[in-house]
Amino acid sequence: MASPTEIVAMRRALELAARGAATARPNPVVGAVVLDTSGAVAGEGWHQQAGGPHAEVLALAAAGDRAAGGTVVVTLEPCSHTGRTGPCTVAVRDAGVRRVVVSTVDPTPGAGGGADALRAAGLDVETGVLTAEGERVNRRWLTAVRTGRPWVVWKFAATLDGRSAAADGTSRWISSPESRADTHALRAASDAVIAGSGTVLADDPALTVRDAAGMPTGRQPLRVVVDTHGRTPAGAKVRDETADTWIATAAELGTDPCGHVDLSALLRELFARGSRVALLEGGPRLAGAFLRAGLVDEVVAYLAPTLLGDGLSAVAGTGVATLGDAFALDIEDVRRLGPDVRITGRHRRTPSSTIVEV
Ligand SMILES: NC(=O)c1ccc[n+]([C@@H]2O[C@H](COP(=O)([O-])OP(=O)(O)OC[C@H]3O[C@@H](n4cnc5c(N)ncnc54)[C@H](OP(=O)(O)O)[C@@H]3O)[C@@H](O)[C@H]2O)c1
């Protein structure tokens, strides 16, 4: 059983892991603390970016000789494979560490198995310490790896009565400059930004991150247009040079029963291309289809203090006919952005709407 000192160290490792939230993608966030033989903190580390050193390696380097005979406390099972960096299990073993305390087990085929490898090398390994917290800090990545599709965040802007466009079709700038700046931060925190052909034809959005300071990885997310028949015009902004774009068509992905692009195939392909977090920017019909297929994990709603009465509803075609079937959210954050209110909620999964694998 983990000691009180190890629990405190795990809480610290979880804090360290969270620092990588904006930069570690497509890798998981990981934090590590090395305790010396007396239980004092000898080193700390967190995984900053893919291709960079892993948290355990940094913490061991910081601990130096004090790691020998000590304990590594780490939020995710140390990897046992050689990717862009060497296996962490070898670094842990070579440092002479006696015990390893892990929060969540790595579900990645090929990368997991680190705990068993360390046990086989004679170390004392304990997994499942503060698992709920470990799951939470990495929930996007863990969901992606377990389901074979990216974690999907659906973002929309609407009036207080849930309208995303007026009756005459005007929809730009429903939300405030503060909300729009926040949207760019959401894009920067995603591997892919998805829009439907309807939105691209109506609004010609660029779908890029335009505030470079807010793009910690320095990488533009992949722009994805879900466009069954490939109607995106040659001169559309999404086709410019500022970022990579994928016009995802039925010819490539097949169709769903309604004759539109198969969304499960779309997400499978995005995962294969390395996406672990995808931002769905609508519009209403595509968002409705994602919800209906159970493929929305998180919702970010920007609500402007205006009322339209008529116009396009924020989401359409969900297939919900009665209140009991409504998609329920667990609200995780509510804040003011200029005149608007931003609500962030997580799709509440019930036994009949579990997280969908694709
Ligand atoms: N306020 C906001 O946050 C916001 C955000 C986005 C858009 N909008 C507004 O929404 C309006 C456009 O609405 P919209 O509903 O037409 O846009 P949309 O949801 O972006 O596009 C819908 C189109 O996506 C295509 N599609 C491809 N695969 C699909 C699938 N599996 N399921 C459903 N659709 C699929 C369909 O056309 P094909 O099958 O022919 O490809 C469908 O007609 C614009 O006025 C825009 O300004 C507002």
Q: Is the pLDDT of residue 210 over 70?
A: yes
Q: How far does residue 281's CA lie from ligand 1's centre (Å)?
A: 9
From 204, 249, 260, mutation site for ligand 1 pocket: most ligand atoms within 8 A of C-beta: 260
Q: For the chain, which residues make up each domain, given as ranges?
A: 4-137, 149-347
- Ligand 1 centre to CA of 337 (Å) is 26
Measuring from atom 38 of ligand 1, which residue has the nearest CA? 228
Q: Whose CA is nearest to atom 33 of ligand 1?
A: 286
338 C-beta closer than 6 A to ligand 1: no
CA distance linking residue 245 with residue 126, whole number of Å: 44
Q: Is the pLDDT of residue 211 over 90?
A: no
**CB within 8 A of 266, min separation 6: which ones?**
194, 224, 226, 248, 253
Per-residue pLDDT, 349: 79
Closest CA to 293 of 338, 226, 214, 198: 226
For ligand 1, is residue 33 a contact (CB within 6 Å)? no
What is the number of the ligand 1 atom nearest to the C-alpha of 172?
47
CB neighbour burial string for 161-200, b if at least 16 within 10 angstroms, e if fewer: ebbbbbeeeebeebbbeebbebbbebbbbbbbbbbbbbbb
Sign of CA dihedral 220, 225, 231, 236: negative
Q: Which atom of ligand 1 is nearest to the CA of 196?
A: 20
pLDDT of amino acid 113: 85
Please check whether the domain covering 4-137 is classified as CATH 2.40.50.100: no
Note the pLDDT of residue 222.
97
CB 299 within 8 A of CB 329: yes
Measuring from atom 15 of ligand 1, which residue has the nearest CA?
285
Residue 21: pLDDT band with limits 50, 70, 90: confident
List the alpha helices (DSSP H) in 84-196: 88-94, 114-120, 131-137, 139-147, 177-188
Cis bond upstream, residue 26 (ω within 30):
yes
282 close to ligand 1 (CB < 6 Angstrom): yes
Which atom of ligand 1 is nearest the CA belonging to 317?
33
- Domain formed by 149-347, architecture: 3-Layer(aba) Sandwich (3.40)
The DSSP output letter for 242 is: T
Residue nearest to atom 23 of ligand 1 (CA): 198
What is the sign of the dihedral through the CA atoms of 116, 117, 119 and 120? positive
Q: Calculate how far, in angstroms, residue 116's C-alpha sits from the geometric centre of ligand 1.
A: 48
How much distance in Å is there from the Cα of 333 to the middle of ligand 1?
27
Tens-place pLDDT, residues 162-208: 999 999 988 878 999 999 999 999 999 899 999 999 999 999 999 99
Segment 280-296 mean pLDDT: 95
Q: Reply yes or no on whether the pLDDT at 9 is more than 90.
A: yes
Task: Return the active site residues.
Answer: 56
DSSP 216-238: TT--PPEEEEE-TT----TT-GG
Query: Smallest Cα–Cα separation from 13: which of 102, 115, 112, 144?
Result: 102
Contact between 163 and 101 (Cβ < 8 Å): no
Q: What is the pLDDT of residues 308-341, one digit of tens each?
A: 999 999 999 999 999 999 999 999 999 999 999 9
- The verdict on the CB of residue 260 being under 6 Å from ligand 1 is yes
Q: Does residue 174 have its Cβ closer than 6 Å to ligand 1?
A: yes
Pocket lining: 164 vs ligand 1, CB cutoff 6 Å: yes
Tens digits of per-residue pLDDT, 230-261? 999 999 999 999 999 999 999 999 999 999 99
What is the per-residue pLDDT across 110-167, written as a single tens digit (0 to 9) for each?
A: 666 899 999 999 999 999 999 999 999 999 999 999 999 999 999 999 999 999 999 9
The structure tokens listed for 321 are 């006919």
Pocket of ligand 1 contains residue 171 by CB under 6 Å: yes
pLDDT at 327: 94
Centre of ligand 1 to C-alpha 170, Å, is: 14
Ligand 1 centre from 198 Cα, in Å? Answer: 4
For residue range 41-88, what is the model confidence (pLDDT) as tens digits?
Answer: 999 999 998 888 999 999 999 999 999 999 999 999 998 876 666 788
Q: d(Cα 169, Cα 155) in Å, to the nearest integer?
A: 19
